[in-house]
Copies of this chain bind each other. A is one copy, B any other.
Amino acid sequence: MAKRPVPDIVVGRLPIYLRELNYLVEERKFITSSQELADRLGFSSAQIRKDLSFFGEFGKQGAGYETLFLRDKLSEILKADRVWDIVLVGAGYLGHALASYGGFLGRGFRIAAIFDNDPDKIGRPIGGLVVQDSRELPQAIQDNGWQIAILAVPAAAAQEIADTLVASGIRAILNYAPRILNVPPGVRIQYIDPVIDLQHMTYYL
């Protein structure tokens, strides 16, 4: 898709642009500009233009961007134009919260299965799913071809489970456990770390 290698930090901003474009479309604003996007996001308009330029010419000089067109293009680039199955590991409080999270809907993801190693949790329904035994995880990943996992387990268990996930074919992990994980090259990992966002705000207090 891209004409030249795209820095990961640029890739990381594309979903933020996509989300904002979806808001613009919801607001029935069908034309936008790098300046408007910049104002809404707190980025610079030069950065937005530079980021988008990796992927081609999306706007006409002086005419701005068509929000629907740019949204569809970004969606395609991020492969958000399909529905990805996610395997959720951890059926504790966080797992419950994620299983019923409304934010996945219409944005390219669905929780396909939930696993836990706690006999008290296995077999119980969460949302529309039944918690499965973690021991069945490797086989289930292989059988279903799942590539994405969310880790919602205690920090002490996270690395061992990540190893199992990766060995079974998972290639992208979203980790909620407060612990840095080692994964082999070629496997992507992202961290949900609320402290990063909190410290971003305390700077201003």
A120 interfacial by beta-carbon distance below 8 Å: no
A150's nearest neighbour on chain B, judged by CB, is: B194
Residue on B with the closest CB to A195? B107
Q: Which residues of B contact A44 (CB under 8 A)?
A: 7, 9
Q: Which residues of B contact A109 (CB under 8 A)?
A: 195, 198
Report yes or no: B202 in contact with A79, Cβ–Cβ below 8 A. Answer: yes
Q: A42: CB under 8 A from chain B?
A: yes
Tell me which residues across on chain B come within 8 A of A98, comparing CB atoms. Answer: 194
Number of copies: 2
Q: Tell me the chain A residues, 101-126 only, with Cβ under 8 Å from chain B.
A: 101-104, 107-109
B80 to A15, Cβ gap below 8 A? no
Best-surrounded residue of A19, A93, A202 (most CB of chain B within 10 A): A202
Instruction: Indicate if the CB atoms of A193 and B103 lie closer than 8 Å.
Output: yes
Q: Does A200 contact B (CB under 8 A)?
A: yes
In the complex, which residues of chain B have a beta carbon less than 8 angstroms from the beta carbon of A196? Answer: 15-16, 19
Which are the 10 A-B pairs with shortest beta-carbon distances? Answer: A103-B178, A15-B199, A172-B201, A94-B97, A190-B197, A93-B96, A93-B97, A188-B201, A15-B196, A79-B202
Question: Can you offer 26 A-B residue contacts whose CB atoms are under 8 A?
Answer: A8-B42, A9-B44, A11-B200, A11-B204, A78-B199, A78-B203, A79-B205, A80-B199, A92-B97, A93-B96, A93-B100, A94-B94, A97-B152, A101-B194, A103-B155, A103-B193, A104-B194, A109-B198, A150-B194, A172-B205, A174-B194, A174-B198, A174-B201, A191-B197, A192-B192, A192-B194
